[in-house]
Copies of this chain bind each other. A is one copy, B any other.
């Protein structure tokens, strides 16, 4: 598949490999193995080659980069987890979808043209069962999903002859304690399990989705595949325009990473955008609709209380969370606590029937550095802590969403307070943006904050694209956003001294020092762009094998001189 002129069906000089499970031998964890060229030395006039080891890296691209898998978006990607889910024997296939709205859409012939062509029956826990990874973990059960992520998290994996750091039992214990989650709806068996928790490598989420003014279904699928290709670990579909239901079905059936949504957006569409007409019944039906489609985590702004409305007025930029502003308005219009808060137990009892994680939304996140760490924000955080414990009572896995706009000196307080009041549930932050003055470059203002808070213990960072505050991102913006956040997440992994995180850095640096340009490109986060920048300036030397670049020219290359010194010193 080619997207924006880049072949997303393979990575350069790389192959897809699969690592088998031990507890569950039918597990195959896809990884990317990057091959390297040898280091060449001339000794006594003879060319001597020293092999350089393959570098195996975490791979979020799923089957798209496996040449042995035929991809047809009309069929969807392979249903990797289906047999594991069936094997547990605690779920049942439903004859029809449960949601009233979902059934109405299904019966609407006018939607046939845009509908995903395969009908997939939904699955639900059998009466009286909870089917969440947290439920199993607490029972002491290591699921295939847990072994899968354990293998995946060993960045210095067996391919490199290094012992495993992450064991399946460690994954289980982190999930049981609520310190990590595997977002894995039983209705999204296409998703490759991944873990979000501060003891693991830092993950990044990307947002896609149309708004009333913009893009269509095929563009959204492209964005999803594109996001996975560049390294997005999870994907939120934030669509607010037409045909949300149908668009989502296409995305989920073709998405190898967990998919998140903010159900209140669709609920609001259902009442024609009139906040006052939102009801628990409509919201509940929307939750079930999306649970049965396979959404893996829901952002739910259940921490927004009636009293927040008063605090918003004291702010420079009010409430900048869409879901938060909708719920705040609802509490004002109805003069009562939101149905998300009052019905939270019922919500959890729906979620644990499908294993959908709740991502407790920060409706009061600061939208400017001025508003950072204020009373509205921290009051809500306290409520999120309370709801966390409630969700855990129902065995529902929990993420806590965090800001937003926060100057650097106020970042640490966010992390420490979140850990304390939310009982070590994984933190999932948007940036934070460390200054307000750079619209057009907020992938950078926020990558700074994301790297810092990732190092402090945030489990997942939500990307920001260059178009933040200005318009919807296009494909190139998604790429820029993902790479900026891969940088932030990886910088945090290095700073956390996460085992094996430095293998890729060291291999790339060695390649750089030895002028193995192709290896330098192939090992980089964006091989295409690195190569393009290099070659643009070397039109006469497309081979990319010279022992210098145009930055310093041939006579001033420190690395070349440095090698000469090493040779002189007999090293």
B441 A408 Cβ-Cβ under 8 A = no
Q: In the complex, which residues of chain B have a beta carbon less than 8 angstroms from the beta carbon of A370?
A: 502, 505-506, 509
A187-229 residues at the B interface, CB under 8 angstroms? 211-214
In the complex, which of the residues B469, B488, B492, B530 contacts A470, with contact meaning CB atoms closer than 8 Å? B530
Find out whether the CB atom of A505 lies under 8 angstroms from the CB atom of B369. Answer: yes
| Nearest CB of B to A342, in Å | 20
Q: How far is it, in angstroms, between the C-alpha of A515 and the C-alpha of B374 when the chains are bound?
A: 23
Q: Which residues of B contact A367 (CB under 8 A)?
A: 509, 512-513, 558-559
Q: How far is the CB of A306 from chain B (nearest CB, A)?
A: 11
Whether B470 lies near A316 (C-beta < 8 A) is no
Which A236-278 residues sit within 8 Å CB-CB of chain B?
240-241, 265, 268, 273, 275
Closest to A496 in B: B409
Known: A530-B470, A533-B471, A556-B322. A437 touches B492 (CB 8 A): no
Residue-wise interface mask of A (470-512) relative to B, using a CB-CB cutoff of 8 A (1 in contact, 0 not): 1110000000000110111011101111000010111011101
Q: In angstroms, how far is the closest chain B Cβ from the Cβ of A318?
A: 3
Please determine whether B312 and A273 come into contact, CB atoms closer than 8 angstroms. Answer: no
A529 sits at the interface (CB 8 A): yes
Cα–Cα distance between A386 and B390 once the two chains are bound (Å): 61
Q: Do A312 and B562 touch (CB < 8 A)?
A: yes
Q: Which residues of B contact A556 (CB under 8 A)?
A: 211-212, 240, 265, 268, 322
Known A509-B436, A556-B240, A569-B309; contact A526-B441, beta-carbon cutoff 8 A: yes
How many positions in chain A have a CB within 8 Å of any CB in the partner chain?
Answer: 114
Contact B533 A470 (CB under 8 A): yes
Given A409-B455, A471-B538, A565-B325, A444:B484 Cβ within 8 A: yes
Beyond A211-B550, A369-B494, A502-B370, is A558–B408 a contact (Cβ under 8 Å)? no
Which residues in window 437-484 of A have CB below 8 A to B?
437-441, 443-445, 447-448, 451-452, 455, 466-472, 483-484
Distance between Cα atoms of A530 and B470 in the complex (Å) = 7
Does B505 contact A214, Cβ atoms closer than 8 Å? Answer: no
Would you call B495 and A407 a contact (CB within 8 A)? Answer: yes
Which residues of chain B have C-beta atoms less than 8 A from A441's C-beta? Answer: 483-484, 487, 525-526, 529
A551 x B470 contact (CB < 8 A): yes
- The answer on a CB contact under 8 Å between B553 and A213 is yes
A264 to B83, CA, bound (A): 68
A121 proximal to B (CB < 8 A): no
Query: Nearest CB to that of A369 among chain B residues?
Result: B505
Quick check: B550 and A471 within 8 Å, CB to CB? yes
Identify which of A487, A504, A530, A568 gathers the most chain B CB atoms within 10 Å of its CB.
Answer: A487
Q: Given that A471-B536, A505-B368 are known contacts, is A569 also in contact with B332, CB under 8 Å in the complex?
A: yes
Shortest beta-carbon distance from A456 to chain B in Å = 10
Q: With the chains together, A563 CA to B329 CA distance in Å?
A: 10
A409 to B486 alpha-carbon distance, docked (Å): 18
Q: Does A164 contact B (CB under 8 A)?
A: no
Q: Of the 9-residue stretches A95-103, A171-179, A516-524, which lies at the interface with chain B?
A: A516-524
Contacts of A525 in B (CB 8 A): 437-438, 441
Q: Is the CB of A553 within 8 A of B471?
A: no
- Output the least CB separation between A521 and chain B (Å): 7
A332, B491: Cβ atoms under 8 Å? no
CB neighbours of A495 from chain B (8 A): 407-409, 434
- Do A494 and B434 contact each other (CB < 8 Å), given the known contacts A312-B565, A448-B448? yes
A552 at the interface (CB under 8 A from B): yes
Q: How far is the CA of A376 from the CA of B35 in the complex (A)?
A: 32
Judge whether B329 and A407 touch: CB under 8 Å: no
Q: Cβ of B316 and Cβ of A553 under 8 Å apart?
A: no
For residue A554, CB closer than 8 A to chain B, the reply is yes
Question: A512 and B469: CB pair below 8 A?
Answer: yes
Q: Which 7 A-B residue pairings sit nearest by Cβ, starting from the closest?
A: A318-B562, A313-B571, A368-B509, A211-B553, A408-B495, A471-B537, A212-B553
- Chosen A-B contacts, 17 in total, with CB atoms closer than 8 Å, are A211-B553, A268-B556, A313-B566, A317-B509, A322-B561, A325-B561, A367-B558, A367-B559, A370-B506, A408-B492, A409-B455, A409-B494, A435-B491, A436-B508, A441-B484, A444-B487, A470-B530
